[in-house]
Chains A and B, each alone.
Chain A
Amino acid sequence: MTFTVSNAPNGVVIVSVDGQLIVANRNELKDKVLDALESNESKFVLDFSSTGYIDSSGLGVLVSVSKKIREAGGDLRLAGLNEDLRMLFELTKLDTLFKICDATDEALDSF
């Protein structure tokens, strides 16, 4: 399974991305986040500690879900990005749009 959804004790939804977030599977992530928003969840951590690659479509879907979460009054953190993935965020200046934490625990504590 590429995406695993779990709930932390403090009411935060953690979506772990295993493998790649690319054009072929990006809508699956979007659907999982939108489903959780419809269930009145509002705090999200996207955990990329097991993610090898995000393509531009994957970056695009992150922008899209970030906007949806914000519009619903929620909040989002990204966590566990490796050096290459962080570089993609820096090149595209998306590091200015997202709250990025080194690790999931840090992201959970930041709400």
Chain B
Amino acid sequence: MTMVPLRLCVRRSDPSHPLGTDDAILMTVTVPSELDVVEHTVDIVSRHCLACGLSLKAVRFNLRVALSEALANAIVYGNRLDPAKSVHVALRELDRGVEVYVQDQGQGFDPNCIPDPTGPDCIERPAGRGLFLIKELVDDLAFNEEGNSICMTLHRA
């Protein structure tokens, strides 16, 4: 089994992390731009989301799919698999649920330019479903201005 060099910080601010200086952040994870880290990172964040009171169904399906897609997008399209670049993940607990941030070190993109993959012109395209699935499975979704950081909100049931 490959050992994945994750940098995990739980329940303390991490000034070196772009998302970790906010006291409300429960945890941060910094991962390399390698697809092997996706499953492990999702497992770590999932455990914290369960501890925050999200339902097993929401964590097992909605969070898993949305976070896996966000990480893969950040690694492949954001950082373009550049080993010199990292992906930063942070989890914030809210009164009604959690916010999960995924930020890459790429140029960013305009999320409004992604066509609906369920339309008749796109249904047979081999790509372009990741962001659509995220939108479908989280309660709220936001991007930073640069388009290289996504914030996914999931509510408790």
Which positions in A face B, CB cutoff 8 Å?
A: 20, 22-24, 53, 55-57, 59-61, 63-64, 67, 84, 87-88, 91-94, 96-97
Contacts and interface: CB of A to CB of B under 8 A. Distances in A.
Interface stretch (B25-33, B122-130, B140-148): B122-130
B60 A84 contact: yes
Contacts of B123: 63, 93-94, 96-97
B109 interface: no
Contacts of B128: 56, 60
Contacts of A96: 123
A87 B61 contact: yes
Interface stretch (B6-14, B65-73, B84-92, B96-104): B65-73
A94 B124 CA distance: 9
B35 A24 contact: yes
A91 B130 contact: no
Interface residues of B, number: 26
Q: Give 6 nearest A-B pairs by CB, closest first.
A: A60-B126, A56-B129, A56-B130, A93-B118, A64-B126, A24-B35
Given A23-B72, A57-B127, A92 B35 contact: no
Q: Say whether chain A's binding surface is mostly helix, strand, loop, or mixed.
A: helix
Contacts of B124: 63, 67, 97
Interface in B121-157: 123-130, 132-133, 136-137
A101 B128 CA distance: 25
